[in-house]
Amino acid sequence: MIRFDQVTKLYAGNNRPALNSVTLEILRGEFVFLVGASGSGKSSFLRLVLKEENPSKGQIHVLGQNLGKLTSRKVPYFRRNLGVVFQDFRLLPQKSVFDNVAFSLQVIGKSKGFIQEAVPDVLKMVGLAGKSGRLPHELSGGEQQRVAIARAIVNKPAILLADEPTGNLDPSTSAGIMTLLERISGGGTTVLMATHDAGIVDQMKRRVIELVSGQIVRDERQGGYQTQALPVQRQAPPPTETGLGAQR
């Protein structure tokens, strides 16, 4: 579904690679957390999957396509198979909830009839059935993120990429968003989510890929936010004249 073979990404003017020889495979229907400190390469990884950036070295396959061989004419068609959600929602402020979702279908040429059916269905699925006429500023943060998710999934993408989707939300609202993403994943969509939210990662026990300085340092089946594999290092007590550690 998503395969990286020794992918390195160097940005112009930055001599440390954002991703450094990353090799991994993500299978259909998996729910994967991408974790790591700020600047470790998570967003770069997502941008490469979307072909918003190209690798400096290595190969990327997404949905059976070698992205290096995808012509720019074909990129918009390729992206129809991917939904994307961001921390800051990115809704169109002057458009209603319905129109925000409908717009993404209009731009890819879906018929009016299709839109009239698909939009209410997806708004119901994300729990916003009664709010289709509202403007974004008339919604809570959690509701705005639900609109963004509805927009991302209305065309039934095979892959949903989420870059810190709960970053602006409180814990209980975040939990609701995660329940929704789990439901989407349960329907067969591959979900890849970059996050700093340790509570969510620890609770969900899904696959966790950890990046440090652009390299994968951990890929665990049912991981937590922090590695479980390494033992906790205890500081040895300082030696005393008797050779025993100081007693307190």
Ligand X SMILES: Nc1ncnc2c1ncn2[C@@H]1O[C@H](COP(=O)(O)OP(=O)(O)OP(=O)(O)O)[C@@H](O)[C@H]1O
Residues binding ligand X (CB under 6 A):
11, 14, 18, 36, 38-44
- How far apart are CB 53 and ligand X at their closest, in Å? 8
Residue type, 141: G
Nearest residue (CB) to ligand X, 48 versus 102: 48
- How far apart are CB 38 and ligand X at their closest, in Å? 3
Nearest residue (CB) to ligand X, 22 versus 128: 22
Token digits for 78?
């390729």
- How far apart are CB 214 and ligand X at their closest, in Å? 7
DSSP secondary structure, 17-31, as one string: -SEEEEEEEE-TT-E
Nearest residue (CB) to ligand X, 138 versus 219: 219
Nearest residue (CB) to ligand X, 40 versus 190: 40
Nearest residue (CB) to ligand X, 43 versus 190: 43
- How far apart are CB 213 and ligand X at their closest, in Å? 8
Q: How far apart are CA 8 and CA 55, in angstroms?
A: 6
- How far apart are CB 238 and ligand X at their closest, in Å? 37
Nearest residue (CB) to ligand X, 40 versus 132: 40
Token digits for 67?
């992205």
- How far apart are CB 221 and ligand X at their closest, in Å? 22
